[in-house]
Amino acid sequence: MKSYDSLRSHFLQTSYLNKTIALLDWDHETYLPSKGVTFRADQQAFLSGLSHERLIAPQVGDWIEACEAETDSLDPFQNANVAAWRRDRDRAVKLPTEFVEAFEKECALAKAAWAEARRKSSFELFSSHLTKLVEMSRQKADYYGYEKNPYDALLDVYEPGCSSQDLSPVFAKLKEFIVKLLPDAMETTKRITTDYLHGFYPLEGQKKFNEMVAQAMGFDFEAGRIDATTHPFCTDLGPQDIRLTTRYNELDFTESFYSVLHEVGHGLYEQGFLPEHAGTPMAEAVSLGIHESQSRLWENKIGRDPAFWQDWYDQACECLPALKKFSPEDLTLAVNRVSPSFIRVEADEVTYDLHIILRFEMEKDLLSGELKVDDVPATWNERFRSMFGLEVPDDAHGCLQDIHWSMGGFGYFPTYTLGNLNSAQLFSAAQKDLGKPAAVLQEGQYAEILAWLREKVHCHGRHLEPAELMQAATGQTIQPGHHARYLEHRFEVLKA
């Protein structure tokens, strides 16, 4: 127990440092003046180096080995923490501290360059940063080691045990299913135009409605908040400090609303960890595929269900009077409109995964060297035309729309589709366990579904691997068929 107590204390203190880095990053994305970027990059690089040094310190390895030799004296949660610390440290010791610092500094600079490039729709303003991050990500993959594809070394950071070889056949079948479903889904919602919901939706009304729904879902605003930024995200700054962000469009309230539902899903997961596990892997998500399952469940399984707009229609109209010209049925059909479009975060449920498949394939090619950074815009536009049948009008609607590459987040995108697959399976199991269909689970109150997720997903932290968690929660490992059946059912309901 002495070695475990030493580990617990050491990593609790390291978490103070890591949450400070996260706070600086949150500020970078929300309020940092443009002239402060260079100093902030140096600041984050320095602190990231300190955190890395704490993780790879020799005594940490000694404490872990001592705990591994005395597993019988530890409880299951403590053993789970030790196993997670072992995994994290074994990966970290492969990276020189100077590399970690240089990578973090480049990410901080790249995010600022990306934001400007996106505003001006100019890939040239970002290309040199992307070139450097691709090179450094290849170097990181080499440090980590891999069998066949450098991409796998990076994917494993976000989705433990997953490889591009695992994903490729799943994505191929999913793409085939989408192509088959798409014409019928488009026909069901064909009367809904792209500007169907356009009106005047004041920011204060949007904020009020967003917070009203988020609170009903269970998000604790005494332990979190919502701010505005270029790209929506959720970040954990401490056990009682979960920050969500969104972006607003006064012509279209759905742009902020559905990004808030998505980030609330992430936030509920972060707020669902048991307080006594703060600073340990038991208070961390097991993978991004599981994390994304929470956001996609609340955003889509709850927020786009016909019952949702029946439940919330009066409150929505009170906050946003322009909605009074629509019926709940109109709103339901509109937010489920299916049509190929340019922006991933605004994509419909059917075509969303095509956006992920496109990025997955491009990331693999960038990491392998088959795709050069200078060719990214043209290649993106060509592949997008092939998959979606649309001509990309500019870089902001194309290869610059997502922040992830500027974060060095190669390997992140596939977890969104894994989140879709997991969310459908979890939601199906929840309805079965609770003995209630989706409509009855809602009614404007979400305590039962949240309690189920708390028990089946949130409280486990990193105690279970992703496949083990899905098996324990649903009785099956990941089965993509749930997602297909969910989409087919959704559009059968909308036809009625």
Averaged pLDDT for residues 112-120: 96
Residues in the chain: 496
Phi, psi values for residue 224, rounded to 5°: 180, 175
CB contact set of 489 (below 8 Å; sequence gap of 6+): none
Q: Are residues 64 and 85 in contact, defined by beta-carbon separation less than 8 angstroms? A: yes
| Proportion of the chain above pLDDT 70, given as a percent | 100
Range 52-57 average pLDDT: 98
Give the pLDDT band of residue 262 (cuts 50, 70, 90).
very high
DSSP secondary-structure letter at 155? H
Sorted by where each starts, the structural domains of the chain and their CATH numbers stand as 2-145 (no CATH), 164-495 (1.10.1370.30)
| Mean pLDDT, residues 11-29 taken together | 96
pLDDT at site 230? 82
Q: Which pLDDT value is given to residue 439?
A: 83
- Residues 111, 404: Cα–Cα separation, whole Å: 9
Q: How confident is the model at residue 495 (pLDDT cuts 50, 70, 90)?
A: confident
Give the model's confidence band at 330: pLDDT under 50 very low, under 70 low, under 90 confident, else very high: very high
Q: How confident is the model at residue 251 (pLDDT cuts 50, 70, 90)?
A: very high
Q: Is 233 left (phi over 0), alpha (psi -120 to 50) or beta?
A: beta
What is d(CA 399, CA 313) in angstroms, rounded to the nearest whole number? 36
Q: Is the pLDDT of residue 25 over 80?
A: yes
- Output the average pLDDT for the chain: 96
Q: What is the mean pLDDT of residues 343-349?
A: 92
pLDDT above 80: residue 339: yes
3-class SS of residue 457:
coil
Q: What is the pLDDT of residue 171?
A: 96
Residues with a known catalytic role = 263
What mean pLDDT is predicted for residues 16-29? Answer: 95
Q: What is the model's pLDDT at position 138?
A: 98
**Three-class SS of residue 245?**
strand
The answer to whether residues 104 and 45 touch, using CB atoms and an 8 Å cutoff, is yes
The total of other beta-carbon atoms located within 10 Å of residue 193's CB is 11
Name the percent of the chain in helix, strand, coil, to the closest 5: 70, 5, 25
pLDDT tens digit sequence for 409-428: 999 999 999 999 999 999 99
Instruction: Give residue 247's pLDDT.
Output: 93
Q: How many CB atoms lie within 10 A of CB 179?
A: 12
Distance CA 351, CA 390 (A): 13
Q: Quick one: CA dihedral 312, 314, 315, 317, positive or negative?
A: positive
The answer, yes or no, to whether residue 441 has pLDDT greater than 90, is no
Element (H, E) at 182: helix 164-188
Q: pLDDT at residue 444 above 80?
A: no
Residue type, 432: K
Evaluate whether 130 touches 110 at the Cβ level (below 8 Å).
yes
Residue 346 binned pLDDT confidence (cut-offs 50, 70, 90): confident
Question: Which residue is listed with tokens 């409509």?
Answer: 439
Mean pLDDT of the region 278-283? 96
Helix ranges restricted to H, 347-480: 352-368, 376-388, 414-434, 438-442, 447-456, 466-474
Terminal CA-CA length for the chain: 62
Residue 406 confidence (pLDDT) above 90: yes
Under the banding of pLDDT at 50, 70 and 90, the label for residue 277 is: very high
Exposure b/e, 130-159, CB count within 10 A at least 16 = b: bebbbebbbebbeebebeebbbbbbbbbbb
What are 226's strand-pairing partners? 244
Strand pairing report for 242-246 and 224-228: parallel
What is the phi-psi region of residue 218: left when phi exceeds 0, alpha when psi lies from -120 to 50, beta otherwise? left
Tokens of 157: 């950071």
Give residue 143's pLDDT. Answer: 98
Residue 485 pLDDT > 90:
yes
Looking at residue 161, what DSSP letter applies? Answer: T
| Residues 388-403: tens digit of each pLDDT | 999 999 999 999 999 9
pLDDT over 90 (residue 278): yes
Distance CA 313, CA 307 (A): 10
pLDDT at 445: 80
What digits encode the pLDDT tens for the residues 364-377?
A: 999 999 999 999 99
Give me the phi and psi of 228, to 5 degrees please. Answer: -100, 145
Provide the pairing of β-strand 234-236 with 242-246.
antiparallel
User: At a CB cut-off of 8 Å and minimum separation 6, what does 70 contact?
Assistant: 3
Tell me the one-letter amino acid at 267.
G
Number of neighbouring beta carbons within 10 Å of residue 254: 18
Angle of CA points 447, 453, 455, to nearest 5°: 100
